[in-house]
Amino acid sequence: MKTISLKIDDAIFGETEKILSRIKKPRNRYINEALEHYNQMQKRLLIEKKLAKESALVKKDSMATLKDFEQIDHAD
């Protein structure tokens, strides 16, 4: 495990302490779980952005292919 030092806004710290006292969870465990959750969320956002970018790259080709297929269907 790594040890880090961080500064937390007073309001966030106070809210966190209130929650911790109610759920009976160690602060360290709570912060680790919060970071894990946030990392998962950020990974999803990165994948979404990558997918949107790649989708935009193939959009023109996809539309051209679709038109080709439509012409084939109408030729029969």
User: pLDDT at residue 76 above 80?
Assistant: no
Q: Domains of the chain: which residue ranges?
A: 10-75
Amino acid letter, 50: K
Q: Is the pTM of this model over 0.75?
A: no
Residue (of 38, 71, 39, 10) closest to 18 by Cα position: 10
Residue (of 63, 43, 45, 67) closest to 55 by Cα position: 63
Host H or E run for residue 12: helix 10-23
Angstrom CA distances, 21 to 26, 36, 76, stand at 9, 21, 73
- Half-sphere exposure for 51 (CA within 13 Å, toward CB): 6
Question: pLDDT (tens digit, 9 = 90+) per residue, 47-60?
Answer: 999 999 988 888 87
